[in-house]
Amino acid sequence: MAIEGNYSVQKGDTLWNLAETQLKAKGNSKPTNALIIQAMNKMAQVTETQAVEDVKPASPAKEKAVITASQKAMIDEFRNMNFNSPELRVRPYINNANTYAEYFASNSQWSVINTIIADDGGKILIYGDENGKPVGSVNKDPEGKIRNVSLNFVNGGFLSLNSSQDGEIKNVYCTSPVYDVQTEDGKTTFDFALNKMMSQYDSYEVKQIKNGDRNISSYIVDGEEVVQVITDTKGKIISIIQTNTELEVGVQQRFFYTDIDGDGLIDKGEGKTRFDKRL
């Protein structure tokens, strides 16, 4: 079988086998690995920086994850639940992150509306519907392996699934929709809010974390983070996250305070809260 011009890839084809077949059709009965790799690069029309390296013979191409109709129906059902749905704790989960990723990719009405490049070179693909409304995200490491999939609930909040390197789901949690927190217009500064939050604790420790051009101060009480303060390169506070852990086991309430209009105050509409639950 000579592979010239247009060729329709068949099930089971690998780039290695196609390149080897092409070389044999041109008279080379026993092409070397180096020649096969060279042919692969030519067939794929890759640039020098994209050249195939360290390709092993007879390694089949990794097949794209396939989602069945029943799996799609199950994930559809998850999307129509909410933070307090008791079924979330008892329903079986599809134990493969790639299936959830394919759920997004196979929906013809959804597309990637934003791509966030992580500090380590990984990517977070934000999917949206035909109106641009986010429906979820797929977080991949620098090698393209999925480490997290988030599935937005139709009525707000989301289901988050963390996976191991082999795609197996390690843990699951969900969040509620985000609600407004009432703040006093024109009176609440970040410093005032932070002092009020920490005044209830006799002692605490602060750990510093660098994240790109942001500095994160993590306030720890009895081994648990209760407040996270994010500052810019000049040390100006740009947001505060407070965590309330004194709820039922496995549930946290988180408060998010920002300064959207940049006036140095936490005004009405700049305070939000949500609930997180481990499943």
Spatial distance between the Cα atoms of 26 and 29, rounded to a whole number of angstroms: 9
State the pLDDT at residue 92: 60
pLDDT for res 36: 63
Domain residues of the chain, as ranges? 1-63, 69-175, 179-278
How does pLDDT run across 154-200, given as a tens digit for each residue?
Answer: 999 999 999 988 888 888 888 999 888 876 666 788 888 888 888 88
Stretch 8-30: mean pLDDT, rounded? 66
Reported as type and span, the H/E element at residue 38 is helix 33-44
For residue 114, what pLDDT is reported?
A: 92
Given this model, what pLDDT does residue 207 score?
A: 92
pLDDT at 42: 61
- Least confident among 125-139, 144-158, 259-273: 259-273
DSSP state of 112: E
Residues 95-111: pLDDT tens digits? 888 888 999 998 888 99
Decide if 104 contacts 135 (C-beta within 8 A).
yes
| pLDDT interval class at 69 (50, 70, 90) | confident
pLDDT tens digits for range 39-50: 655 654 433 333
Give the percent of the chain with pLDDT over 70: 77
Run of H or E including 190 = helix 190-198
Grade residue 139 by pLDDT with cuts at 50, 70 and 90: very high
For 193-234, the pLDDT digits (tens) are 888 888 888 899 999 888 777 889 999 998 888 999 998 888
Q: Which residue, 59, 52, 200, 79, is CA-closest to 133?
A: 79
